[in-house]
Chain A
Amino acid sequence: MIRFENVTKVYARGARPALDAVDLEVERGEFVFLVGASGSGKSTFLRLVLREERPSDGKIFVAGRDLSTLSTWKVPHLRRQIGTVFQDFRLLPNKTVFENVAFALQVIGKPRHHIMTTVPDTLELVGLGGKEKRRPHELSGGEQQRVAIARAFVNRPSILLADEPTGNLDPTTSVGIMRLLDRINRTGTTVLMATHDDEIVDQMRKRVVELDSGQLVRDQSRGVYGSSR
């Protein structure tokens, strides 16, 4: 589903590479934790998958597409197959929960009847049934993150990227979010989650990929956050 072949990313000339010759393959339907200290290259990795950045060297394949030959005007089509969730939720404050999720479908031109059926289903799935008319500021952090996940998942992407989705949440709420991501993973969606949260990683026992200063230092199935801790 995602394949990195010897990928290097250097932002400024002469600077230390953000990613250094990374080789990685993620299969369809996998759940992968991307761990590492701040500045280890996790965010760069996610940005490369989204093609917000292009690699300085190496090849990237996402959902069967070679990103190095993907033309700019086809990038939106790539992104329709990838859902993304962030630490800071990134919801639209002046729209309701329903409108926030529907927005993702409206802007890619989905017909109204499709939106009217899919959005309530998805809100039900993330456990927000009955809160369609609330605005983001009326919700708890965990609920806001559920809205963000619903928005990322409403178009049924084959890949879900999560950049520290529990970073702003307390441990109990985080567990709920992780259950949700696990449920989404079970529908066949590949989930790639960058995180600092060692408890969660240790609990979930999923594949763990560790980056350190841009280099891939560990790739362990059913792994834990860090052996050194």
Chain B
Amino acid sequence: MRLQFILSEIGLGLRRNLSMTISVILVTFVSLTFVGAAALLQLQINQVKGDWYDKVEVSVFLCPKDSERPTCAGGEVTDQQIEALKTELESDSLAPYVKKVYLETKEQAYASFQKRFGQEAWAQGVTADQLQASFRVALVNPEQYQVVSDAFTGRQGVEEVRDQRKVVEPLILVLNRASLVAAGLAAVMLLAAVLLITTTIRLSALSRRRETGIMRLVGASNLFIQLPFMLEGAIAATIGAALSVAGLWFGVKYLVQEWLAQSVTFIQYVSTADVWRIAPVLVVVAIGLAAVSSVVTLSRYTKV
């Protein structure tokens, strides 16, 4: 009896305020889409960091035959210099920073060059002598690039120390900014959602003043009076959350997986599985919003 009665009250309320209900659904939809987008961007950032920081190395490029750098004045790097640099890289003082070192010779560089660009016409004339040998240094903590850079920049036989992390860093920065923007918009939209849900519940409570007045008079409990209003808000917000999950799912599926992932292939992208991971969070946020709004409103409009 009770459940059936409450359900019919909810249905009545949702239908009576149909346009308001729809606006609540839309506002929660949009705001939670922004929340979800911010969350997905953060996941993407973590993924990029995880992927790249593992692979990324500091490359210590050694002097090729005819470099114009002052440190390469002595011509191509000698075996002696290589040996000295290697010893130093593997020394105890650098041990806390350096995970692994290996030497890529000119020939190895040529082999990987051929593998990558061998098909291209312009690459046909390149010989091993035009390429340079390098130390590939994997760091314990990729952020401590500066230590290695300071130690080897300007040394005889070293042309340049390059941090490959610099390649991804702008990307991470862009993603971070985008997620901040999304989070900012989400905050504004969430505020709008709270205000709108509050107004909707208030209107709903006012339009049913007569009923609630009689309910109070004949001794219905507070919870019984307020529950239909709370559930109305919660249902509308949950539908909004469901829509935003659907929106994010389609966004990730068609924009990221089927378009970005096809055209820009060098990073791993978030997947629809990640959307399912954040879906419960979005639903909880939606219900939380509705709960906060209804508690605030109902304590004023349907008190005993």
The interface of chain A, by Cβ under 8 A from chain B, is 50, 72-73, 75-84, 90, 92, 103-104, 106-112, 115, 151-152, 155
Contacts and interface: CB of A to CB of B under 8 A. Distances in A.
Given A76-B304, A107-B5, A110-B1, A90 B210 contact: yes
A107 B210 contact: no
A143 B244 CA distance: 53
Contacts of A112: 1
Contact of B218 (A73, A75, A115, A155): A155
A77 B219 contact: yes
B296 interface: no
A155 B215 CA distance: 13
B218 A151 contact: yes
Interface in B172-231: 210-211, 213-222, 224-225
Contact of B220 (A107, A115, A152): A107
B2 interface: yes
Given A90-B210, A92-B210, A92-B211, A109 B218 contact: no
B216 A79 contact: yes
A115 B218 CA distance: 15
Interface of B: 1-2, 5, 210-211, 213-222, 224-225, 304
A106 B304 contact: no
Contacts of B217: 50, 79, 84
Contacts of B224: 107-109
A77 B215 CA distance: 12
B219 A80 contact: yes
Contacts, number: 62
Nearest to A84: B217
A83 B218 CA distance: 7
Given A106-B1, A110-B1, A112-B1, A79 B219 contact: yes
A109 B219 contact: no
B221 A76 contact: yes
Nearest to A79: B219
B210 to A, nearest CB: 6
Nearest to A115: B1
For the complex of A and B, list the 3 residue pairs with the smallest distance between their C-beta atoms, beginning with the closest: A79-B219, A80-B219, A107-B220
A77 B218 CA distance: 9
Given A76-B222, A90-B210, A107 B215 contact: yes
12 contacts: A72-B222, A73-B221, A106-B1, A107-B225, A108-B220, A108-B224, A109-B1, A112-B1, A115-B1, A151-B214, A151-B218, A155-B218
Contacts of A73: 221-222
A76 B211 contact: no
A76 B2 contact: no
Given A76-B219, A110-B1, 17 more contacts: A72-B222, A73-B221, A76-B220, A76-B304, A79-B219, A83-B218, A84-B217, A92-B214, A103-B218, A104-B218, A107-B215, A107-B218, A107-B224, A108-B218, A109-B1, A109-B2, A155-B219
A16 to B, nearest CB: 27
B304 A72 contact: yes
Nearest to A95: B211
A90 B218 contact: no
Contacts of A76: 216, 219-222, 304
Contacts of A108: 218-221, 224
A155 B5 CA distance: 18
B5 A90 contact: no
A160 to B, nearest CB: 12
A108 B215 CA distance: 8
Contacts of A104: 214, 218
A90 B213 contact: yes
Contacts of A107: 5, 214-215, 218, 220, 224-225
Contacts of B221: 73, 76, 108
A84 B218 CA distance: 8
Given A72-B304, A108-B219, A90 B214 contact: yes
Most chain A CB inside 10 Å of its own CB: which residue of B211, B216, B219: B219
A79 B2 contact: no
A155 to B, nearest CB: 7
Nearest to A51: B304
A72 B221 CA distance: 10
A50 B218 CA distance: 10
Contacts of B222: 72-73, 76
A106 B2 CA distance: 7
Contacts of B1: 106, 109-112, 115
A201 to B, nearest CB: 25
Contacts of B218: 79-80, 83, 103-104, 107-108, 151-152, 155
Contacts of B213: 90
A140 B158 CA distance: 105
Contacts of B215: 107
